[in-house]
Structure 1
């Protein structure tokens, strides 16, 4: 597992290649919430939880199940918020204490071009006007908007469309106008593109 340095000093981010047998890392209660998921999905879920439990261990937590609620939101130990993600070959997770951040979302995609037909689906008219085609053809906006959604949903319990989220790359912010909320963002690129979004706890 690789630790990705976060811009925020208290956020822990990990990434790991998905390996055969990762499904054996799942607790029985986690398997139960996956229903009839195929072996590939179980491997991906197991890999993400291996990362999450490793990060939790660095904060002093013993190995514990991370089960999903009916809405699909993972449940975390008391005082912790986190998020998990995966694509076909890699998984990622991020956690942080609730005392500084109220919600957190992560997404991961391979660092490959975005299918051209998806650009207009993902990028808003303003984003298509502001950003060069080289950026629009990458998966950066996609992972950032997915990360915003994962941070947004547990708080607002509303679904978001890609067009509901406006990404400001210069300010590193994701704005959801219909709820008047703004999420600080991080983007980490290597063989993968990792997007992170979070919301500070109000003082």
Structure 2
């Protein structure tokens, strides 16, 4: 597992290739909660939880199941906020202490161009004016908006469309028009593109 160093030092981020037997890392309750999920899904889920439990250990939290609510939001130990993500071959997780970071979301995608036809779906009119075609063809806006959704939904319990979020990469801010709120964002590019979104905890504002 690789630890990703970001500008916000209070958030721990890890990335790990998905292994052939990562489904074995799931607790029995996690397996039961997944019902009839296929092996690929269990494997991806196991890989993400291996990372999350390793990061939680750095905060002194013993290994425990990470289940999901009915809406699909992962449940975390008391005092912890976190997020899980994966694509076909790599998983990621981010965690922080809730007293410092109040909301947190992460997403990961392969460092490849967006599939054809998705720019108009992902980018707002203003974003298409702000950024050149090379950036718009990347997955940067996609992962940042997905990360914002994961940070936003547990607070507001509302779905978001890509057009509900506007990204200012230079200012490191993502603004959610639907919720009239903003999130700090960070982007990490390597063989994967990682988007991170967060809000500070109430006692840090």
**TM, length-normalised to structure 1:** 0.98
Aligned residue in 1 for 2:131: 131
CA distance in structure 2 between the aligned counterparts of 1:189 and 1:198, rounded to whole angstroms: 18
Q: Structure 1 residue 197: deviation in Å?
A: 0.2
Instruction: Provide the aligned C-alpha RMSD in A.
Output: 0.7
CA distance in structure 2 between the aligned counterparts of 1:6 and 1:65, rounded to whole angstroms: 26
Aligned residue in 2 for 1:97: 97
CA distance in structure 2 between the aligned counterparts of 1:33 and 1:189, rounded to whole angstroms: 33
- Asked if 1 retains the 8 angstrom alpha-carbon contact of 2:119 and 2:137, the reply is yes
1:187-198 pair list within 5 angstroms: 187-198=187-198
Q: Structure 1 residue 116: deviation in Å?
A: 2.4
Matched, 1:46 2:46: yes
Gaps of 5+ in 1: none
1:4-15 pair list within 5 angstroms: 4-15=4-15
CA distance in structure 2 between the aligned counterparts of 1:188 and 1:88, rounded to whole angstroms: 18
- Partner-residue secondary structure (3-state), 2:178: helix
Structure 1's consecutive aligned runs of 4 or more residues displaced over 2 angstroms after TM superposition are none
CA distance in structure 2 between the aligned counterparts of 1:116 and 1:87, rounded to whole angstroms: 18
Aligned residue in 2 for 1:88: 88
CA distance in structure 1 between the aligned counterparts of 2:178 and 2:83, rounded to whole angstroms: 23
Aligned residue in 1 for 2:70: 70
Please list the CA deviations of residues 44-92 of structure 1 after superposition, one character each: whole Å capped at 9, or x if unmatched.
Answer: 0000000000000111111100001101000111100000000000000
Q: Structure 1 residue 178: deviation in Å?
A: 2.1
Q: Structure 1 residue 171: deviation in Å?
A: 0.3
Aligned length: 203
CA distance in structure 2 between the aligned counterparts of 1:116 and 1:128, rounded to whole angstroms: 16
Gaps of 5+ in 2: none
1:1-203 pair list within 5 angstroms: 1-202=1-202, 203=205
